[in-house]
A = this chain, B = another copy of it.
C-alpha cells in the first residue's frame, strides 16, 4: 500500500499512468515522447509504478508494451468508500495492536 501511495505522489507518474491508460500497449519510447525528462528517468518512473503493481508490461519484439492496472487503486478506493474518512481496512486491528503496545510501553 505504501508503494501505491508513493508511486501516486508524483504528478509526472500520475500523468504517465494516465497516458498508458489512454494508450494501452504503448511503448517506453512512446511515453518518453510526452515528457520532458530523459528516457532513463521515464524507465525509472515506470519501474516505480510497476513496483506498486499499477503497471503491467510485456516484451513484444524489441518493444515493451505497457498496460495500466487498476487493481491497486480499486483496492484503496474500496477501503475509502467502505467508511469514507476512516480510510483503511486494518484500522480496528491496528488500533488494537497499538493499545497493546501502549500498555507495554506505559507499564514496563
**A52 CB to nearest chain B CB (Å):** 10
A14, B84: Cβ atoms closer than 8 Å: no
Told that A1-B11, A34-B101, A70-B84 touch, could you supply 4 new A-B pairs with CB distance under 8 A?
Answer: A18-B88, A18-B95, A21-B85, A81-B81
A15, B80: Cβ atoms closer than 8 Å: no
A-B contact pairs, 27 of them (CB 8 A): A2-B10, A2-B11, A3-B9, A5-B8, A5-B9, A9-B9, A14-B88, A15-B94, A15-B98, A18-B86, A18-B88, A18-B91, A18-B94, A19-B95, A19-B98, A21-B85, A22-B95, A33-B102, A33-B105, A34-B102, A36-B101, A70-B84, A73-B80, A73-B85, A74-B84, A77-B81, A77-B84
**A60 sits at the interface (CB 8 A):** no
Sort chain A's interface into a size bin. Answer: 35 or more
A73, B87: Cβ atoms closer than 8 Å: yes
Chain B residues near A88 (CB-CB < 8 A): 14, 18
Chain B residues near A36 (CB-CB < 8 A): 101
